[in-house]
Amino acid sequence: MKMKTLALASITAFGLVSAAAQAADPAPVTVNGGTVHFKGEVVNAACAVDAGSIDQTVQLGQIRAASLTSGKTSNPVAFNVQLDDCDTTQVTKGVSLIWNGATVTSNNKALSVQSSSSAVAAATNVGIQILDPQSNLVTFDNATPTSVSKLTKGTNTLTYKAQYIAVNGDAGAGVANADTTFKVQYQ
Protein backbone atom coordinates (compact mmCIF):
# COMPACT_ATOMS: atom_id res chain seq x y z
CA MET A 1 0.00 0.00 0.00
CA LYS A 2 2.84 2.35 0.84
CA MET A 3 4.34 1.63 -2.57
CA LYS A 4 1.12 2.47 -4.38
CA THR A 5 0.75 5.68 -2.41
CA LEU A 6 4.35 6.65 -3.11
CA ALA A 7 3.93 5.92 -6.84
CA LEU A 8 0.68 7.89 -6.97
CA ALA A 9 2.30 10.80 -5.14
CA SER A 10 5.26 10.77 -7.56
CA ILE A 11 3.02 10.76 -10.62
CA THR A 12 0.95 13.61 -9.19
CA ALA A 13 4.08 15.62 -8.35
CA PHE A 14 5.48 15.17 -11.88
CA GLY A 15 2.14 16.21 -13.34
CA LEU A 16 2.06 19.37 -11.21
CA VAL A 17 5.65 20.26 -12.11
CA SER A 18 4.90 19.69 -15.80
CA ALA A 19 1.75 21.82 -15.63
CA ALA A 20 3.61 24.54 -13.75
CA ALA A 21 6.39 24.52 -16.34
CA GLN A 22 3.90 24.85 -19.16
CA ALA A 23 2.13 27.70 -17.41
CA ALA A 24 5.47 29.49 -16.80
CA ASP A 25 6.53 29.57 -20.50
CA PRO A 26 6.19 33.16 -21.69
CA ALA A 27 4.48 33.92 -24.96
CA PRO A 28 6.83 34.47 -27.93
CA VAL A 29 7.90 38.08 -28.47
CA THR A 30 8.56 39.50 -31.94
CA VAL A 31 10.41 42.79 -32.51
CA ASN A 32 11.67 44.61 -35.59
CA GLY A 33 15.16 43.43 -36.60
CA GLY A 34 16.56 45.47 -39.45
CA THR A 35 16.90 45.79 -43.19
CA VAL A 36 19.03 43.78 -45.59
CA HIS A 37 20.09 45.57 -48.78
CA PHE A 38 20.99 43.55 -51.83
CA LYS A 39 23.15 45.23 -54.44
CA GLY A 40 24.27 43.89 -57.76
CA GLU A 41 24.02 44.14 -61.48
CA VAL A 42 23.59 41.84 -64.45
CA VAL A 43 26.10 42.84 -67.14
CA ASN A 44 26.53 42.08 -70.81
CA ALA A 45 30.33 41.95 -70.79
CA ALA A 46 33.25 39.57 -71.17
CA CYS A 47 33.63 39.23 -67.36
CA ALA A 48 31.87 40.05 -64.11
CA VAL A 49 33.62 42.15 -61.46
CA ASP A 50 33.93 40.05 -58.30
CA ALA A 51 31.79 41.29 -55.37
CA GLY A 52 34.92 41.64 -53.21
CA SER A 53 36.43 44.09 -55.71
CA ILE A 54 33.40 46.34 -56.04
CA ASP A 55 33.60 47.97 -52.61
CA GLN A 56 36.97 47.47 -50.97
CA THR A 57 39.25 49.30 -48.58
CA VAL A 58 43.01 49.44 -49.09
CA GLN A 59 44.92 50.06 -45.85
CA LEU A 60 47.91 52.28 -46.63
CA GLY A 61 48.79 52.48 -42.96
CA GLN A 62 50.87 55.20 -41.36
CA ILE A 63 53.94 56.93 -42.73
CA ARG A 64 56.00 59.51 -40.93
CA ALA A 65 55.64 63.01 -42.37
CA ALA A 66 59.45 63.38 -42.17
CA SER A 67 59.77 60.43 -44.58
CA LEU A 68 57.44 61.99 -47.14
CA THR A 69 59.37 64.98 -48.44
CA SER A 70 58.56 66.75 -51.71
CA GLY A 71 58.17 64.26 -54.58
CA LYS A 72 58.86 61.19 -52.43
CA THR A 73 56.46 58.23 -52.27
CA SER A 74 55.65 55.67 -49.61
CA ASN A 75 56.12 51.97 -50.13
CA PRO A 76 53.36 50.74 -52.45
CA VAL A 77 50.56 48.54 -51.10
CA ALA A 78 49.14 45.94 -53.48
CA PHE A 79 45.41 45.41 -53.99
CA ASN A 80 43.45 43.40 -56.52
CA VAL A 81 40.55 43.82 -58.87
CA GLN A 82 39.18 40.37 -59.62
CA LEU A 83 37.20 39.56 -62.74
CA ASP A 84 35.14 36.36 -62.71
CA ASP A 85 33.65 34.08 -65.34
CA CYS A 86 35.65 35.67 -68.17
CA ASP A 87 34.85 34.69 -71.74
CA THR A 88 37.88 35.46 -73.90
CA THR A 89 35.93 35.04 -77.14
CA GLN A 90 34.34 38.45 -76.50
CA VAL A 91 37.64 40.41 -76.44
CA THR A 92 40.52 40.76 -78.85
CA LYS A 93 43.14 42.68 -76.84
CA GLY A 94 42.20 42.41 -73.17
CA VAL A 95 40.94 44.62 -70.35
CA SER A 96 41.83 47.97 -68.84
CA LEU A 97 40.32 50.07 -66.08
CA ILE A 98 39.26 53.70 -66.24
CA TRP A 99 39.63 55.51 -62.91
CA ASN A 100 37.96 58.63 -61.55
CA GLY A 101 38.28 60.68 -58.38
CA ALA A 102 39.06 64.10 -56.94
CA THR A 103 42.69 64.92 -57.66
CA VAL A 104 45.19 67.40 -56.32
CA THR A 105 45.05 70.58 -58.36
CA SER A 106 48.52 70.22 -59.83
CA ASN A 107 48.36 66.54 -60.73
CA ASN A 108 45.57 64.35 -62.18
CA LYS A 109 47.66 61.28 -61.33
CA ALA A 110 47.29 61.79 -57.56
CA LEU A 111 44.05 61.60 -55.60
CA SER A 112 43.35 64.42 -53.19
CA VAL A 113 43.20 63.29 -49.55
CA GLN A 114 40.61 64.30 -47.03
CA SER A 115 39.86 63.68 -43.40
CA SER A 116 37.22 61.21 -42.28
CA SER A 117 36.29 63.25 -39.21
CA SER A 118 35.98 66.86 -38.26
CA ALA A 119 38.19 66.32 -35.19
CA VAL A 120 41.35 65.54 -37.18
CA ALA A 121 42.52 67.59 -40.15
CA ALA A 122 43.57 66.12 -43.48
CA ALA A 123 47.24 65.70 -44.23
CA THR A 124 48.74 68.51 -46.29
CA ASN A 125 50.75 68.23 -49.49
CA VAL A 126 49.83 64.54 -49.80
CA GLY A 127 48.15 62.63 -52.59
CA ILE A 128 47.53 58.97 -53.37
CA GLN A 129 48.75 57.39 -56.58
CA ILE A 130 47.77 54.05 -58.13
CA LEU A 131 50.09 52.02 -60.33
CA ASP A 132 48.47 49.66 -62.86
CA PRO A 133 49.58 46.02 -63.38
CA GLN A 134 52.35 47.24 -65.70
CA SER A 135 53.52 49.79 -63.04
CA ASN A 136 52.23 52.84 -64.95
CA LEU A 137 50.57 55.65 -62.98
CA VAL A 138 46.78 55.77 -63.27
CA THR A 139 45.14 58.98 -64.52
CA PHE A 140 42.01 59.93 -62.56
CA ASP A 141 39.98 61.62 -65.30
CA ASN A 142 37.17 59.14 -65.99
CA ALA A 143 38.45 58.79 -69.56
CA THR A 144 42.03 57.47 -69.77
CA PRO A 145 42.28 53.65 -69.67
CA THR A 146 45.14 51.90 -67.93
CA SER A 147 47.51 49.62 -69.82
CA VAL A 148 45.74 46.63 -71.36
CA SER A 149 45.98 43.33 -69.47
CA LYS A 150 45.42 40.05 -71.30
CA LEU A 151 42.44 37.98 -70.20
CA THR A 152 42.31 34.25 -69.67
CA LYS A 153 39.18 32.13 -69.52
CA GLY A 154 37.69 32.02 -66.01
CA THR A 155 38.97 34.17 -63.14
CA ASN A 156 41.49 36.97 -63.70
CA THR A 157 43.19 38.98 -60.97
CA LEU A 158 44.54 42.43 -61.83
CA THR A 159 47.07 43.61 -59.23
CA TYR A 160 47.32 47.35 -58.65
CA LYS A 161 49.45 49.24 -56.13
CA ALA A 162 48.64 52.36 -54.14
CA GLN A 163 51.11 54.76 -52.54
CA TYR A 164 51.25 58.14 -50.87
CA ILE A 165 53.14 60.92 -52.66
CA ALA A 166 54.25 64.28 -51.33
CA VAL A 167 52.95 66.94 -53.72
CA ASN A 168 53.65 70.69 -53.66
CA GLY A 169 56.18 70.39 -50.83
CA ASP A 170 56.83 68.27 -47.77
CA ALA A 171 53.93 66.32 -46.25
CA GLY A 172 52.14 67.64 -43.18
CA ALA A 173 50.61 65.25 -40.65
CA GLY A 174 46.90 64.40 -40.72
CA VAL A 175 44.37 61.90 -41.98
CA ALA A 176 45.03 60.83 -45.57
CA ASN A 177 41.94 59.10 -46.99
CA ALA A 178 40.67 59.19 -50.55
CA ASP A 179 38.03 57.50 -52.68
CA THR A 180 38.12 56.52 -56.32
CA THR A 181 35.83 54.67 -58.69
CA PHE A 182 36.66 52.53 -61.69
CA LYS A 183 35.00 51.26 -64.84
CA VAL A 184 36.07 48.20 -66.79
CA GLN A 185 36.84 48.54 -70.50
CA TYR A 186 37.09 45.42 -72.65
CA GLN A 187 38.96 45.73 -75.94
Rounded CA separation 175/123 (Å): 5
Cα 68 from chain centroid (whole Å): 26
> What is the rounded average pLDDT for all residues in the chain?
88
Phi-psi region of 54 (alpha: psi -120 to 50; beta: other; left: phi over 0): alpha
Contacts of residue 128, Cβ cutoff 8 Å, sequence gap at least 6: 60, 110, 111, 113, 162, 163, 164, 165, 176, 178
**pLDDT one-digit tens code per residue, 3-20:** 555 444 455 444 544 554
The pLDDT value given to residue 16: 46
The pLDDT value given to residue 52: 94
**pLDDT one-digit tens code per residue, 40-85:** 889 899 999 999 999 999 999 999 999 999 999 999 999 999 999 9
Mean pLDDT of 103-118: 87
Predicted TM-score (pTM) of this structure: 0.80
The pLDDT value given to residue 136: 97
Mean pLDDT of 126-135: 96
The pLDDT value given to residue 149: 96
pLDDT above 80 (res 23) = no
User: Domains of the chain: which residue ranges?
Assistant: 48-186
Q: Which CATH superfamily is domain 48-186 in?
A: Fimbrial-type adhesion domain (2.60.40.1090)
